[in-house]
Amino acid sequence: MEPSALDWQPRTDHPVQNEEAFPMHATVGDILLVHGRIVGQHDRTAEVVEVLGPNGSPPYRVRFEDGHETLMSPGPDTVVQRRGEPTV
């Protein structure tokens, strides 16, 4: 009998490590630059006020320019700018 999609099992010989799952690292004071996802949407910046993940990984508590705070697990449209680095 041939294998089918119902026979699929996840690979266990190489479990995903935290580094692979969350390559982003930030510290308190870093700036997250969130690029607009659609044409005409502006980039947004948020300051990291608390790191909730292990070793600088997400999620982060961030404060946006308008003052509101939220928990954030950034996606691929986000870049970390280290504290003290020139902005892009």
**Record: fold of 20-81:** SH3 type barrels. (2.30.30)
pLDDT given at position 86: 64
Q: Please choose, from the candidates 37, 36, 44, the residue with its C-alpha nearest in 3D space to the C-alpha of residue 66.
A: 44
Distances in whole angstroms, Cα of residue 30 to Cα of each of 36, 48, 85, 88:
19, 6, 9, 14
Q: Model pTM greater than 0.95?
A: no
Q: With 50 as the cut, is the pLDDT of residue 83 above it?
A: yes
Output the six-digit token pair for 56: 């600088």
Q: Please choose, from the candidates 31, 11, 20, the residue with its C-alpha nearest in 3D space to the C-alpha of residue 86.
A: 31
Predicted confidence (pLDDT) per residue in 33-77, tens digit: 999 888 888 999 999 999 999 989 999 999 999 999 999 999 888
Angle formed at CA 57 by CA 55 and CA 60, multiple of 5 degrees = 120
Output the six-digit token pair for 4: 């089918």
Q: With 90 as the cut, is the pLDDT of residue 5 above it?
A: no
* Domain ranges for the chain: 20-81
* H-assigned helices in the chain: 18-21
